[in-house]
Amino acid sequence: MQTIALYSIKGGVGKTTTAVNLGFLAAAEGWRTLIWDLDPQGAASFFFRIKTEVEGGGRALLRHRRVLEAAIKGTDFEGLDLLPADFSYRHLDLELSRGDKPKRQLRRVLKPLAQEYDLILFDCPPSISLVSENVFAVADALLVPLIPTTLSTRTLEQLDTFLNEKLPKNAPLLLPFFSMADSSKALHRAVMKSVPGQGRLVLRSVIPETAEVERMGLHRMPILAYAGDEAAVAAYRGLWQEVKDALPAR
């Protein structure tokens, strides 16, 4: 089982749309895939028309395997399941801190899912918290969307430093990529040109900011499920290929 987290300290950078589309692509290729919507806003759950509701909330989910098993819902796409968000996730930090080894709680919860899924994608809330530290401890890779601005590249540096300090031996693979890019903006063009030149690995695929990506909220499904020749469709496919290439062999 591989675990990938869509993570950014900032909000509104395209985490959820990427998680939803990569989940769709993985399942379409036959990976048994689960998206875990960890963001209490429940955007990923919304895209799949699944109610943001977990019986007993985050607390029960962390404690009882039965609750976890019952909370998972199949999406409209075969092989792609979702563990929906719940409003109680806003207190998930607190719940995680209650048990022993608070930074290892998620690893324990995920264990029984290893037989059922080939891939788990976390759609993380934007913050650095005990939730994100738990995710860092279990993720094989962190997929980090970057809006091509100077500020967002700075936050990438911060994340890198944080990971190296907290998990010096087993930090997840850091896979940043440009998201919501607008090639008509000079700043975007300049940042996208300069950052890879600074010796930092940035995936080649660039997710453009297009009206069609925004319309995912109207269609309530991955863009790949309804749009044919959109630039964003090719971009997500390219991104998925790069992610697969970067992951250790299955």
Partner 1 sequence: MNLAPAEYLLPSDSDHLELAERVTARQACGEDSAVTLSRHIYDSFDWRLFLAGLTLEWGLSEAAAADHHDRCASTPASVEDGQAALVVPENGLVLTLREPRDPSAAPVLQWSALEPGFLSEMPDGPVRERLAGLLGIRRLLPMTELISARRRLRLLNEDRKTVVRLVIERNRFRNPATGETGDLSARLRLKPVRGYAREFTDVEQWVRNELGLEPIEGPQVLEALTAAGCRPGGYSSKLDYRLDPDQRADLATKEIHRGLLKTLEANVEGARRNLDSEFLHDLRVATRRTRSALSQIKEVFPATEVDDFKQRFAWLQQVTGPMRDLDVYLLDLPALEKRLPESLRDDLRPLRGLLNDQYQSVQAELAKALESDPFDALLRDWHAFLDAPAPADPEAGQPGTSQPSSGGDSTAPPPKRAQQPIKQVANQRIRKMLERVRSEGRAITETSPPEELHELRKSCKKLRYLMEFFQSLYEPARIRGQIKQTKVLLDNLGRFQDTAVQAQHLRETAEAEGCRDGGIPPATLLAMGLLIGQLQDEQARARSGFSEVFRGFDSDANAARFDALLSDGKGRKRQIGRR
Residues that bind partner 1 (CB under 8 A): 25, 27-30, 32, 48-50, 70-79, 81, 116, 250
- In the bound state with partner 1, the residue whose beta carbon lies nearer, of 29 and 182, is 29
- In the bound state with partner 1, the residue whose beta carbon lies nearer, of 78 and 214, is 78
Integer Cα distance of 85 and 82 in angstroms: 9
Q: Least distance in Å: CB of 250 to partner 1?
A: 6
Distances (CA, A) of 209 to 26, 36, 44, 60, 170: 22, 24, 18, 38, 33
- In the bound state with partner 1, the residue whose beta carbon lies nearer, of 29 and 157, is 29
Integer Cα distance of 207 and 15 in angstroms: 11
Contact 42, 36 (CB under 8 A): no
Q: Least distance in Å: CB of 110 to partner 1?
A: 17
- In the bound state with partner 1, the residue whose beta carbon lies nearer, of 49 and 215, is 49
Q: Could you give phi then psi for residue 42, rounded to 5 degrees? A: 70, 35
Amino acid at the residue 191: V
- In the bound state with partner 1, the residue whose beta carbon lies nearer, of 48 and 178, is 48
Question: Which DSSP letter does residue 149 get?
Answer: S
Q: Least distance in Å: CB of 69 to partner 1?
A: 8
Q: Least distance in Å: CB of 220 to partner 1?
A: 8
Q: Which residues pair with 142 in a beta bridge?
A: 5, 174
Q: Least distance in Å: CB of 37 to partner 1?
A: 14
